[in-house]
Amino acid sequence: MQNVSQAEATQAIPVTDRENTDFWRATRFRDMECMAATFVTHEFAPHSHDTFSIGAIEAGCQIARIRGEREHTGPGALYLLNPGEIHDGAPGVSGGYRYRMIYPDTELLRGIIEDVTGRAFNGAPSFSKQLLQDEALAMDFAHAHRLVQDGVDDLLAEEAMYRVLSHMFIRYGSAIITPPKETGRSKAGRARDFLASNFTSEVGLEALAGIAGLSRAHLIRAFRREFFITPHAFQTDLRVRHARRLLREGASPSDTAIECGFADQAHLTRHFKARIGVTPAAYRRG
């Protein structure tokens, strides 16, 4: 993708000098999670989502890493992340950034594709590019996002968001997502499978290395090389993803912390905000 210079990124729309987030769920889009946020110092830890992560930078510059590649993104940049895609994000050198995000589930996107094409979509939708520059589409997305956020004209907002999502898929989508490789075929994959099945439990590095058949240092290197994340960060991400499901179902932050394997509510809050951008309490209210 085309990199955006710091000067180009900050000249479009000024970024405020304070951080703020607006998080909500759009009932007309299968309770799709939405966020409009300005981040000046906040840095996202490596994480992933059960849903797609689609968004656009409105002002400033974000530095993001995905699939091991780090990019500077500014106004006109689009994020088209598939479910489970490990990524992070941090403000650029100066000024922070403002962006808009939505987190549609697979069924929502599949339904839009079927509406547009007029035929059944057999397979799972995915995007072939994750970070790209498309100023016109980014502007259309931001416009649709603001309509959803304002909540003044639901029909207009639905039409705008459905139209922009269909255009995104037409331009950058893939008909069928490539099936993930069997993680059990690699030694690091065996460790990943074990963590996926036991993420709420305390797991020692020595025991995990024994499962993988690697030394502790070799396991960390192999895990990061294959999955772009460390074993501990992967376990924490799974805990946070599980916490999101429990909070959506109405569980309290304190009960969620215990259920997900965190030491206490403060421990959950620290890791949750580092990955989601809002506290568990704010996420539950959204």
Q: Where exactly are the structural domains of the chain?
A: 6-174, 183-285
Q: What is the pLDDT along the chain (286 residues), one digit of tens a residue?
A: 333 332 333 333 445 558 899 999 999 899 999 999 999 999 999 999 999 999 999 999 999 998 878 888 899 999 999 999 999 999 987 779 999 999 999 999 988 888 777 778 777 889 988 999 999 999 999 999 999 999 888 889 988 999 999 899 989 987 654 444 544 468 999 999 999 999 999 888 889 999 999 888 888 889 999 998 999 999 999 999 999 999 999 999 999 999 999 999 999 999 999 999 999 999 999 8
- Model pLDDT, residue 117: 72
Task: With CA atoms as reference, report the closest residue to 158 among 171, 169, 145.
Answer: 145
- Model pLDDT, residue 17: 59
- Model pLDDT, residue 69: 84
Three-state SS at 223? helix
Is 1.10.10.60 the CATH classification of the domain at 183-285?
A: yes
Residue 147 and residue 230: Cα distance in Å, rounded?
Answer: 39
Report the CATH fold assignment for 6-174. Answer: Jelly Rolls (2.60.120)
CB 150 within 8 A of CB 142: no
User: pTM for this structure?
Assistant: 0.77
How many residues comprise the chain?
286
